[in-house]
Structure 1
Amino acid sequence: MTKSTKPAYCIIGAGAAGLAALKALVSAGHDVTCFERSDRIGGHWHTDYEALHLITPRDSSGFADREMPSAYPTFPSRNQMRDYIVDYGMSNGLTEHILFSTEVVQVRPVNGDSSQGWLVSTSDGATRHFDAVIVANGHLWDPALPDVASGFTGVSLHSSQYRNTRDLEGPRVLVVGAGNSGCDLAVDAAQGGFTTSISIRGGRVYQPKTLYGRPRSELKLVAKLPPRLQERVLRELVRIAVGDPESHRGLPKPDSRNLFENLPVVNSLLTYWIDHGRIRVVGEVVAIDGRAVSFADGTTEEFDSILWASGFKVALPFLEPSAVETREGVPLRVAGGVLPLNASRLFFVGLIAPRGPQLPVYSAQSELLLDLLAVQEKVTKPLAEYFGGARAATDQIDQLRHVWARDMAKATRLARRLKERPPAAGAFHRPARSAFPDSSVRRVDRATEGP
């Protein structure tokens, strides 16, 4: 039998990002194997808390090549998202290319040179050679817990462990964190009849999901405005609809009301239940002893359950630390978050969360990936150098949508030019200025991601 001369590609993870990449590669006729450590596709959507709904609307939140069912509500539930993603993988025949219950334990460059490809070792004891590796293991699976959490002796659950109010012991529940997950969990506990407090460290702007009966992103007149003017108009509409955050009892005043400078917290029910006395706002947790929790204002209270909505850490346990350049453990990337610095034949899909719906991001990155793979087969240098290199790199996970979209558009145009006219050996595209500030958000709240 003649050995195939086609490059062999590997995808790590069969969640939404991995499925988007797999669909793109399979449709293009590539030889691709996807490794999934669990026995199913769909990632965290199988295990998210039951009260979770999208903060982005149905009609703009699906994969680029598959609309969500019109029978779904405006803001689909966790179960509906799970079913949609699973159906996407099954109906496209993607499971035929997935090795389930097979965890990637190590990824290392061949002979220490990534231009020769990568050796992928898996939990079944095998080591396989691939011409390129696409990392799509997600950034919402390794909980970020503060050190103080270990001191609590009651029920203590990270948001990723919480399913519903049956997990709680009562009656006193404390939720730590006021991102989208924290708001959801506090509302869930309050509506379940628990005496609920939420620990908030700093001021936030709390946005409603809808304005004038429409999802914010579907306000056509606003959507047509330039980004900065759009932000100003939305900021004022939010203020009219919700009021200033500090007008709701206990909520701290934000340092800025500029929506670009605030994490996108989209929840109307938190302020609703605060105003009804069902949720009480407390300050930052500074110490825990047993069930006694001490706060920054010097007060101490006892609680029976604590839910930690403290976000997630980026984790790439299978990748050698020297394989890519990182900042505080997060790979530095260019080209819309797809290309790492200093590594050839390595790509990321889903290691970024531009504000808004996320599945379209995975689809767009996967389409760019096809062009980048074509270019990579014609050059030996790390592709990141052609896309600005270190000067354009970012470690951000949370990004403003219009900034990411601009970067993706530039990367797509350049990738197609490079595919048509591969650069001569040793030639680099002129580095671009970084489109991103030095500061970044490295820990991401589950529901902040959009879908």
Structure 2
Amino acid sequence: MADGEAGSGKVCVVGAGPAGMAIARALIAQEIDFDIFERHHDVGGLWDQTNPGSPVYDSAHFISSKTQSHYHDFPMPDHYPDYPSHRQILAYMRGFADAYGLRERIRFDVGVTSAVRDGDGWTVETSDGRTGRYAALICATGTNWSPAMPAYPGEFTGEMRHSHSYRSMSEFAGKRVLVIGAGNSGVDIACDAAQSAAHAAISMRRGYHFVPKHIFGTPSDEFAASGPHLPMWLTQKVFAALIQLLHGKPSRYGLQEPDHRLFETHPIMNTQLLHHLAHGDIEPKPDVERFEGRTVHFKDGTAEEFDLILCATGYTWVIPYLAAERFKWKGGRPDLYMNLFSREDRSLYALGYMETNGGAYKLFDEMADLIARTIAARRQGGTAAAAVDRLIREDSPDLSGGIQFVGSARHSTYVEISAYRKHMDNVRKRLGWPGLKDGVYDRLRATGADARAAA
């Protein structure tokens, strides 16, 4: 085979979390043979708290609603709440694996330790000591596994750790707790501390917009998806005004005012924090300036003593089994076409290495289908392969949706969900590929519609 040619050999998929299961079903639909390796003993990825390194805490729920977060042709059970718990999400994913017969395609308790580009394919070494040859590699191992810790002057002599190790609010009992970071995990954990710690505080380096999970009784993302669809500049103004009408300005709660417009950072889907701030259960603090023993000095000149600091400061994106130079990186993120395709290597793909302002899991099926169809086209060769290769090599879409995202590493490859969906549709039209229609996966169902009833 020529360099980068997929040929007729097997595909190696790494990871059986949400992304890995989506790509497995798509490959089956395209009749592409593959092996999928999962280092844990079951499917579910980070949503399985027993999976070593899982960052999921007891109070974790989806921040996108069930109607915007499910696999295609496989809705979440009707009895699920608007925002399912991590236990329900895990049960749903396992029901999905059962429904489509994915378990027998997965090699559990086997991780990939090394994937090396070797001539016309990949040499893959696994944790059970085996080596295999594959025509293509799909990385689907996710991003929230390598905690990023902040660095501040001085030394904190109390307990300080990353939030990925946090599980239960009982860990806060009797302690003075500071949560650093205001992402969705940070505000969730701060709300846990408000209910169980002797004293709770949250430190934010900037102000944020806090989006309610319901608008007029409807999940916010469902409300946005149902329209009306306004120009982004007007959507930002209308939603910002609506949020301010509902909750007032953040400064009313002692928080910094946002230095950016709504949607220019990843949305914070939590208004419980505002509730606890309004009741004095959480103390708002600005960014940390330095540590001195158990005393934390803040940039507003105040200082307080704490017993425990939890850093909800995000994750470093790593693909440990792959040499870093195999992907180009931008701001600590792999710089891929459509967040899926290597522009340099026709046998290298990724799924799940993206962030967006909506339910990414519902996109996974569309994205997985694009990967599977691309592999099939490259195997076919001729004009189909040439069209795919030209698109991946030359197309440079603007996926911002007109939003000027803040200049942080996290947002270097961020996409606006409506713009991403629109461009996926354009790609399909240009290549003559159909979209996913209801019932397209019916022939693959292994155990029928009752499978998800167990969720």
TM-score bucket of the superposed structures, by smaller chain: 0.7 to 0.9
Q: Which residue of 1 aligns with 2:57?
A: 49
Give the SS at the match of 1:398: coil
Match of 1:82 among 90, 102, 105: 90
Q: Which residue of 1 aligns with 2:429?
A: 413
Give the SS at the match of 2:124: strand
Is the 8 Å Cα contact of residues 134 and 348 (structure 1) preserved in structure 2?
yes
Per-residue displacement from partner, 1:316-361 (whole Å, max 9, x unpaired)?
Answer: 1111222222224422111x21112211111111111221112111
Deviates more, 1:30-39 or 1:294-303: 294-303
CA distance in 1, matches of 2:422, 2:141: 25
Per-residue displacement from partner, 1:82-117 (whole Å, max 9, x unpaired)?
Answer: 111122112322111111221212112123xxxx22
- Distance 1:352-1:149 versus aligned 2 partners, 3 A rule: farther
Relative contact order, CA 8 A, sep 6+: which one is greater? 2
Is the 8 Å Cα contact of residues 154 and 292 (structure 2) preserved in structure 1?
no
Match of 1:265 among 259, 264, 268: 268
Match of 1:293 among 296, 303, 310: 296
Query: Is 1:312 the equivalent of 2:328?
Result: no
After superposition, residues 106-185 of structure 1 pair within 5 angstroms as: 106-111=114-119, 116-148=120-152, 151-168=155-172, 170-185=174-189
Q: Which residue of 2 aligns with 1:398?
A: 414
Paired AA for residue 314 in structure 2: G
Give the SS at the match of 2:309: strand
Match of 2:76 among 61, 68, 78: 68
Is the 8 Å Cα contact of residues 387 and 431 (structure 2) preserved in structure 1?
no
Paired AA for residue 182 in structure 2: A
Alignment coverage as a number of residue pairs: 407
TM-score computed with the length of structure 1 as normaliser:
0.84
- Distance 1:26-1:417 versus aligned 2 partners, 3 A rule: closer
Structure 1: runs of 5 or more not aligned: 419-451
CA distance in 2, matches of 1:219, 1:227: 16
Is the 8 Å Cα contact of residues 155 and 304 (structure 1) preserved in structure 2?
yes
Q: Once superposed, what is the RMSD of the aligned Cα atoms?
A: 2.5
Give the SS at the match of 1:270: helix
How many Å apart are 1:193 and its aligned residue? 4.4
Per-residue displacement from partner, 1:355-396 (whole Å, max 9, x unpaired)?
Answer: 111211111111111211122222788966523548559984
Paired AA for residue 324 in structure 2: P
Match of 1:36 among 35, 38, 47: 38
CA distance in 2, matches of 1:329, 1:315: 9
Q: Which residue of 2 aligns with 1:241?
A: 246
CA distance in 2, matches of 1:49, 1:227: 37
How many Å apart are 1:176 and its aligned residue? 0.3
How many Å apart are 1:397 and its aligned residue? 4.5
Q: What percent of counterpart residues are identical?
A: 32
Paired AA for residue 283 in structure 2: R
Q: Which residue of 1 aligns with 2:281?
A: 278
Is the 8 Å Cα contact of residues 173 and 197 (structure 2) preserved in structure 1?
no
CA distance in 1, matches of 2:391, 2:111: 32
Match of 2:17 among 1, 7, 15: 15
Q: Which residue of 2 aligns with 1:431?
A: none
After superposition, residues 165-244 of structure 1 pair within 5 angstroms as: 165-168=169-172, 170-219=174-223, 223-228=227-232, 229-244=234-249
How many Å apart are 1:206 and its aligned residue? 0.8
Paired AA for residue 246 in structure 1: S
CA distance in 1, matches of 2:413, 2:329: 13
